Amino acid sequence: QVQLVESGGGLVQPGGSLRLSCAASGHIFSVGAMCWYRHATGKERELVASISSSGTTTYADSVKGRITISRDNAKNTVYLQLNSLKPEDTAVYYCNAYLRPSRGPSDTYWGQGTQVMVSS
């Protein structure tokens, strides 16, 4: 069974940094694009950043210059480096991956979410 497991969230002061990780595990044939979304209370879910299998990245305007997405294809893991954090970055962060399991068709998988809280 394929699953995505996130880690790295927590409480950080404004201006601080966090690094989120999301590892895909199970019987996986290939992993395509991987993304990070966030969902803040009272707001719609937002696509924060994405990275293709070849490393092409995109970012939401709200985080450009402060957040970096990267991946380790050997580990089927995607990372999100959060810098210069602001209170408005507070949200549950979810990773998402389009992947093909060893058996069955390609599909989109979601992690369980990790809470990031930015507060003094």
Using pLDDT thresholds of 50, 70 and 90, give the confidence band for residue 37.
Answer: very high
12-35: average pLDDT: 97
Neighbours of 63 (CB within 10 A): 21
User: What pLDDT score does 48 carry?
Assistant: 98
User: What pLDDT score does 63 carry?
Assistant: 93
At residue 95, the 3 state secondary structure works out as: strand
Q: Which long-range contacts (CB under 8 A, 24 or more apart) does 41-47 make?
A: 41/91, 43/91, 45/94, 46/91
* Per-residue model confidence as pLDDT tens digits over 55-98: 999 999 999 999 999 999 999 999 999 999 999 999 999 999 99
User: What pLDDT score does 87 carry?
Assistant: 96
Q: What's the CA gap between 63 and 47, in Å, rounded?
A: 10
User: What pLDDT score does 46 carry?
Assistant: 97
Q: What mean pLDDT value characterizes the chain?
A: 96
Q: What's the CA gap between 39 and 115, in Å, rounded?
A: 10
User: What pLDDT score does 68 carry?
Assistant: 97
At residue 54, the 3 state secondary structure works out as: coil
